[in-house]
Structure 1
Amino acid sequence: MTGTRDPGLQPERTRLAWRRTALAMTVVTLLTVRLAFTGGPAGALPAALAILGWGGVVALCWRRATGTGRPRTGGRTLATAGLAAAGFALIGVVLVLRGL
C-alpha cells in the first residue's frame, strides 16, 4: 500500500458546495438590492452591507473552488463564510422587522 491519498470525487463535491454557497449569497444580495430600490433610504445600508459580504464570500468561494493561491491551514475560511451567512440572516431579520 502506498502513502498517496486517492481523493476520489471529494474535490469536485467541495468545489460544487462552494459554488452553491456563492450562488445562494448572490441571490440574497440581489433581493436585498431590489428591496433597497423599492424600500427607499432605509434599505440602502442593508444593501451596502450585503454587497460587501457578498464580495468577500465570492472571493473566498473562488479561492476554495479553484484551488488558487497558497493552501491555508488556519481554518478561517469556513468561519468567515459562516460569519457572512449570519450577517445575511441578520440583514434579513432587520428587513422583515422594518417591513421592507
Structure 2
Amino acid sequence: MSGPGAASRDAGLQPERTRLAWRRTTLACSVAAVLAVRQALHGSGSPLRVAGTAVIALIWLAFLGVAHVRMRQLATARPPALAPRVALGAVLCTVALALFAMTVIF
C-alpha cells in the first residue's frame, strides 16, 4: 500500500491474528515432533531412528526459536515486516521436520 495515508495505517487486529497463526503453527509442529518421538520410542530403537529423533528434536527447537522471534516482533505497536531470513528459517524447519519424520516412520 502506498500513498499519503500509508505511513499512518492502522493495522487493527492483523498483527494479533498473525501472532495467533504462529502459535497454531508452533502447536502443530510440536504435535508432529511428539508423534515422531513416540513412534521412535515404541519402534525397534535402531540407531537410525534414534538419530532421526534427535534431529527432529533439534529442528523443533529451531522452529520454536524462529516462531518466538516473530511473535515477539508482532507484540510491538508497529511490527516490522517478516524478514526473509526468518521466513527461510521457518520454511527450512518445516520441510526438514517433514523429511525426518518420514525417516523415523519408515
What interval of TM-score do these two structures reach, taking the shorter chain for normalisation? 0.7 to 0.9
Larger Rg: 2
* Ranges of 4+ aligned residues in structure 1 off by more than 4 Å: 71-74
Tell me the CA shift for residue 64 of structure 1. Answer: 0.9
Are the equivalent residues in 1 in contact too, given 2:37–2:53 (CA < 8 A)?
yes
The residue aligned with 1:90 is 99
Tell me the CA shift for residue 63 of structure 1. Answer: 1.4
Match of 1:24 among 10, 23, 28: 28
The residue aligned with 1:78 is 87
Match of 2:66 among 56, 60, 64: 60
The residue aligned with 1:38 is 42
The gaps in structure 1 that reach 5 residues or longer are none
Are the equivalent residues in 1 in contact too, given 2:53–2:104 (CA < 8 A)?
no
Are the equivalent residues in 1 in contact too, given 2:40–2:49 (CA < 8 A)?
yes
Aligned length: 95
TM-score when scaled to structure 2?
0.77
TM-score when scaled to structure 1?
0.81
Tell me the CA shift for residue 76 of structure 1. Answer: 0.9
Tell me the CA shift for residue 47 of structure 1. Answer: 0.9
Correspondence list, 1:6-21, <5 A: 6-21=10-25
* Relative contact order higher in (CA < 8 Å, ≥ 6 apart): 2
Which segment is superposed worse, 24-33 or 73-82? 73-82
